[in-house]
Amino acid sequence: MGKIKFGVFLPFYAFQSKPAEYYAQLRNVVQECERLGYDSVWLDDHLMYKDATILECWTALSALASVTSRIRLGSIVTCTAHHNPALLAKAAATLDQISNGRLEFGVGAGVQEAEHQAYGFGFSKPKERIMQLEESLEVIRRLWSYPKANYQGKYYTLKEAVCEPKPKQKPRPPIIVGGRGEKYTLKVAAKYADRFDWGFLPSIEDYRHKLTVLQRYCEVIGRDFRQIEKSCWPAGQILIASDNAELEEKIVKYKPPNTSLEDFKQYTLVGTVDECLKGFQAYVDLGVTYFMLYFADLPSVDGLRLFKEKGACILG
């Protein structure tokens, strides 16, 4: 088994403030994650959600590349319906170069219909969106691999297209396919993913089932299932404290007022560091080497600091 790694998810809804303050908070959290030794930070790639303030993912990642030197930078996940794949391949290669090979390339088919419609992209049925995702990944890999790329698909075309410079990482940045749909998305993951991202699943039984489905698709196409790194979200969010007294204070502060504690715990891993780590071990036993973490107390750095300094060394 490889080394256990921890990525920190930094969604737009954790940084609701004026745009200049938003980026300053984001930058400070990312720099603290780097100082603490986290493997990566991840931004969600959304254009709008109601009237929330949202920074464009790739522009923000480029800015963060200039104020960090070691931590890896990921999109979780870029919606291929919002991007021409050839242009996305070029942007991603550029970011990988200027960050000195730190890009984590997360892509998916998109799920927010209101966002698609508002920006004029349309919102086709899941099968078609995932077919577009598959073609997009083929286009991107060709542009990253060949001096001149050609492709003729249903949705996209390349004619002697040149993408220079290529990404810094060889053979290319890791591709993370987001989405948990078993009928179509996992087929794409079996073919293209270096790592998958299923988001938070409510039980380890669900996780085991997804592994079985993905392995079956790998067998069909003749790919070694072990080539795909296993990742997991141990919870929708994590709320940790040094002791029970501090934990009670945090629950009062961060639990939505109209949500019961029982419901809150359905999607929140709540506890001391030791208690939370027990929720990780079953996934480690299944071969998981990449954990995605969203700390409920962001933009405070208390939770991510406590986890890395007191707990991550036990698993990592």
CB burial of residue 103 (10 Å; 0-12, 13-18, 19+): buried
pLDDT of the chain, 316 residues: tens digit per residue:
578 999 999 999 999 778 889 999 999 999 999 999 999 999 999 999 999 999 999 999 999 999 999 999 999 999 999 999 999 999 999 999 999 999 999 999 998 999 999 999 999 999 999 999 999 999 999 999 999 999 999 999 999 999 999 999 999 999 999 999 999 999 999 999 999 999 999 999 999 999 999 999 999 999 999 999 999 999 999 999 999 999 999 999 999 999 999 999 999 999 998 888 888 999 999 999 999 999 999 999 999 999 998 765 555 5
Joined tokens for residue 253: 């502060």
CA distances from 283 to 57, 140, 208, 221, 313 (A): 29, 31, 9, 26, 16
Let me know how many helices (H) and strands (E) the chain has, helices first: 12, 13
- Residue 302: what pLDDT? 95
> 177, 279, 167: which is closest to 233 by C-alpha?
279
Instruction: Give the domains, in start order, of the chain with CATH numbers.
Output: 5-315 (3.20.20.30)
- Residue 220: what pLDDT? 98
> 77, 187, 194: which is closest to 141 by C-alpha?
194
Joined tokens for residue 44: 């969600």
- Residue 315: what pLDDT? 55
d(CA 244, CA 297): 16
- Residue 10: what pLDDT? 98
CB atoms within 10 A of CB 225: 14
> 283, 309, 307: which is closest to 293 by C-alpha?
307
- Residue 314: what pLDDT? 55
Amino acid at position 23, single letter: Y
d(CA 233, CA 88): 26
Helix (H) or strand (E) holding 305: helix 302-310
SS3 readout for 90-102:
HHHHHHHHHCCCC
CB atoms within 10 A of CB 90: 19
- Residue 310: what pLDDT? 77
Residue 315 DSSP class: H
d(CA 144, CA 76): 20
